[in-house]
Amino acid sequence: METSMYSAMRVGVVHFKAFPGLETGVGPLVETLEKICADEFWTAVEVGWMKDYRVRNTARHLLDQSHLSVAYATQPKVLSNKFNLNHFDKGERMKAVEAIKSAVDEARHLGAEVVRLIAGKDPGDEKREEAKKLLIDSLHQILDYAAEEKDGLAFTLKLFDRAIDKKNLIGPAPDGIDIAKAIRPEYPHFGLLSDLSHFPLLNETPEEAVPMLAPYLDAVHLGNCVFRDKSHPAYGDIQPRFGVPGGETDTPEVVTFFRELRKCGFFDKPVRPMVSAEVRPVLAGEISDVILANAKRVIRDAWALSQRPE
């Protein structure tokens, strides 16, 4: 008998990707968030930087009405301002730490249960281990700050590409595991977030990476990427729609991902994990509402197909 996907996960969407132009913390944040809140397909939403306190107040009121689970993603604030939690310059690193502490406050203001974190740039092979130590130190400071409230706010570190676009320190699965091993013993609410769209960029596969990540994997993103054609408008870590010509991910790849996650017990957690679509309109003529409908169809189909015998 087919298991409802809603019994296994909270189905989310990344707000600031679905509606481009919001990454700088301004724009039609509330108007677009209202569309997600009014759509019963979604049971979770990942929001980002909202510069204006009044906008956050309005968004919080909207989220409170919606009954959605809420995650707060630091990527918009970090990437817009080029903050780097593993910067070799202490002043720059502390600037990043303070910015993420303020993001923790914003997350609480919005009613988030988890904060998504991102490492800084990869410095290359020779300095990578030193950068990882600096990242661990920065994370300790942020998590110490968050723990003062004693409300159980959780954190995930998102794994990005290292060589194609974001060129992030973390990175391939083994490096993400190194960070989790260093942080998790002291902070049990810390884990990793893996993104289906990043496996091709990292030259990894779900079959290889998911079993390694499983002990620390708390959430996942579903997305697509293009990397074989540098002239493609969606080249890099852009999160185009599922099935975009030249892309790497469509329904079959989501099916495989769901199967690997199930094998590793990801869907058996005491609290249903968030599984969020991270897609956006990229090509000329594409609109957010249709791209979101595309994602919903792929998620529904992939879940149903993932339960058939292999």
129, HSE (Cβ side, Cα atoms, 13 Å): 1
pLDDT in tens, 145-162: 999 998 999 999 999 999
In this predicted structure, what is the pLDDT of residue 129?
Answer: 97
Contacts of 161 (CB under 8 A, 6+ apart): 167, 168, 198, 201, 202, 237
Q: What residues contact 259, with CB distance under 8 A and at least 6 apart?
A: 306, 310
Percent of the chain residues past pLDDT 70, beyond the cut = 100
Task: Report, as an integer, the average pLDDT of 89-109.
Answer: 98
Q: Say what the pLDDT of residue 241 is.
A: 98
Residues 6+ apart with CB under 8 A from 175: 128, 132, 169
Q: What is the pLDDT of residue 75?
A: 96
In the predicted model, what is the mean pLDDT of the chain?
A: 97
Mean pLDDT of 262-285: 97
* pLDDT greater at residue 309 or residue 239: 239
- Whether the bond into 171 is cis, omega within 30 of 0: yes
- The confidence score (pLDDT) of residue 310 equals 81
Statement: residue 253 has pLDDT above 70: yes
Q: What is the 3-state secondary structure (H, E, C) of 150-169?
A: CCCCEEEEECCCCCCCCCEC
Kindly write down the DSSP assignment for every residue of 19-52, as one continuous string: STT-TTS-SSHHHHHHHHHT-TT-SEEEE-----
Rounded to two decimals, the pTM is 0.96
Domains of the chain in start order, with CATH, are 5-306 (3.20.20.150)
- Strands (E) in 81-169, as ranges, are 114-117, 154-158
Residues 162-180: pLDDT tens digits?
Answer: 999 999 999 999 999 999 9
Determine the pLDDT at residue 145: 97
Mean pLDDT of 204-212: 97
pLDDT at residue 1 greater than cutoff 80 = no
- pLDDT, tens digit (0-9, with 9 covering 90-100), for 112-148: 999 999 999 999 999 999 999 999 999 999 999 999 9
Helices (runs of H) and strands (runs of E) counted in the chain? 12, 8
The region that residue 72 occupies, defined by phi over 0 for left and psi between -120 and 50 for alpha, beta otherwise, is: beta
Three-class SS state of 5 = helix
Tokens for 112, please give them. Answer: 């988030």
Q: What is the pLDDT of residue 2?
A: 72
pLDDT digits (tens, 9 = 90+) for 27-71: 999 999 999 999 999 999 999 999 999 999 999 999 999 999 999
Calculate mean pLDDT across residues 82-94: 98
